[in-house]
Structure 1
């Protein structure tokens, strides 16, 4: 991951600095038209799978609003940000007094990103609004992602959304909006983004300097990326393809062979600097179990479908508990892999 920002994947550009956006023209036009009308909603819930451009769209729209503060004079399209403009430079450096980016903080002791956005982070929004209340400028908060808010933080955000300050704009990002508090969803205007098409994914990767060059590798990345740039980068730069292959071997093997395969995979996923690929594996594991449950349901085996769907939640709880209490990751993974084999 980036040394300057541990949340940015190798080969990626921080959304605050990214001038490229592909595949979401309709969403761009919708946001621009809403601002130009002067009747845009104060909170937009930008929904969609991780890695498809939600944060980049949010920063692009924030740049647009800050560059065109008077709605009646604003164009009805989002121009590509000019990296040399004062607004773009302030956003890219995190120095804008009119934009607050709420995301999971980095633990100063470990250097790792924390597992949640805490209420202390949300309190920054209250301080932000009090500091800028007399300027007359737009004040924009990007919550990236709202899925990461813990319960207290979510309730604190809700209070602000219920009584938004004048000329405030909340851009609330969510990979799984169904997990958000219904009261938060009800106070936001939904804007759903779809996974990128193959062409848009290729263009996005090329813009990042990671072009798909054809052949079997390109076919594999397209199939496994599911329209997500971040997932494609994990496949290309973090060994994601190999992790999926190793997991398939675990599921397909029996006896001592399966045990050896489990140990090999658990060693990789619990090694040093394995946080990105560990998260990738957990996502793939969830997809695997959901697919199993769907297959069982279609086959009429509702008991198996229910058991497999419940396993998604149970294994997620096991991982969360292990992380919270700093339990041995390899032992946790061995247990998780065995449960997946039995699914």
Structure 2
């Protein structure tokens, strides 16, 4: 039975419950063989864009390790989790004493995830390792993602990574490794996952029950950029319409486009619009960065610097807007005005 999990997109399966992984066979083989050799690293930094399977891979590997606690006796490949096994059932229900999943905690008042993984959450890892394992099995911590660690939490994790307990394993997920403390990165073995190719994308979406054979299929695959979560936002959250409206706003001029801007801002600032607002923020920042990159390639250094500076400014304003709960519609209007001015 699938549990309701905060933060899981409509149509998605929580990574801990996902029985299939598509498009990352080399990474799976590396983890299985590294573990079986008995020389695996105690901390693995799983890098890559959001929504491509990093968390699913982490839970899949954790299941493998906990199911085969002696490396030399483990299979050479990661298999699909056995839904009937005790390990799989304990992981799916959150009842495993050998795995700790650190993510942004849910605010009990709002039901939404808080803005960061705090030091209080990391202290749970200290208690986790302080408990005696009745089975003598591995202790695994999944940090999902480490990008969400605030400064104090990151420093607390660093202390544990510097002196890891015996038979401990850290699976550290990151969408943007450059944002992590260099000292955390230096203590982890990097494992880079690439965005999914079109065929693994189709298989992953088919596994979730989506048959991409309609007129929008190719557009969804292209716009999702190898991310299953982005595809779900396009399919289930009106992402295709938002992307089209965004293009119309950028291309338009005069009073008519002003109405389009306000309509788009109203949709993105409506109640319960968190997912589509995050989608738009990523779409927006991706466009600015692409404009900077294209200008640099064309040799227009002045234009490239202008968009690069704008990117930094916009990122800061989005962060402040969320941190101080500023009026979201005004933030969106301001961002669109600045981008149109820069264009």
The alignment partner of 1:28 has SS state of helix
Provide the C-alpha distance between the structure 1 equivalents of 2:39 and 2:3, rounded to a whole number of angstroms.
41
CA contact (8 A) 2:98 2:133 kept: no
Q: Deviations over 1:210-237 (max 9, x none)?
A: 121143x011001101111001000000
Count residues in correspondence. 341
Provide the C-alpha distance between the structure 2 equivalents of 1:310 and 1:211, rounded to a whole number of angstroms.
41
RMSD: 1.3
Using the TM superposition, give the Cα deviation of residue 136 of structure 1 relative to its aligned residue in structure 2, in angstroms.
2.1
Change (3 A) 1:3 1:69: closer
The alignment partner of 2:16 has SS state of coil
Using the TM superposition, give the Cα deviation of residue 255 of structure 1 relative to its aligned residue in structure 2, in angstroms.
2.0
The alignment partner of 1:46 has SS state of strand
Structure 2, unpaired ranges of 5+: none
Q: Which residue of 2 aligns with 1:71?
A: 71
Structure 2 length normalisation: TM-score? Answer: 0.97
The alignment partner of 1:16 has SS state of helix
Using the TM superposition, give the Cα deviation of residue 250 of structure 1 relative to its aligned residue in structure 2, in angstroms.
1.1
Segment drifting more, 91-100 vs 106-115: 106-115
Using the TM superposition, give the Cα deviation of residue 4 of structure 1 relative to its aligned residue in structure 2, in angstroms.
2.2
Correspondence 1:13-32 to 2 at 5 A: 13-32=13-32
Divergent runs of 4+, >4 A = none
Provide the C-alpha distance between the structure 1 equivalents of 2:52 and 2:261, rounded to a whole number of angstroms.
31
CA contact (8 A) 2:97 2:133 kept: no
Using the TM superposition, give the Cα deviation of residue 323 of structure 1 relative to its aligned residue in structure 2, in angstroms.
1.6
Q: Which residue of 2 aligns with 1:230?
A: 229
Q: Deviations over 1:110-148 (max 9, x none)?
A: 111111111111111001111136752100000000111
Q: Which residue of 2 aligns with 1:151?
A: 151
Change (3 A) 1:3 1:67: closer
Q: Which residue of 2 aligns with 1:320?
A: 319
Using the TM superposition, give the Cα deviation of residue 298 of structure 1 relative to its aligned residue in structure 2, in angstroms.
2.1
Q: Deviations over 1:291-342 (max 9, x none)?
A: 1111211222212111101211211111111121111111111111111111
CA contact (8 A) 1:19 1:80 kept: yes
Structure 1, unpaired ranges of 5+: none
The alignment partner of 1:330 has SS state of helix
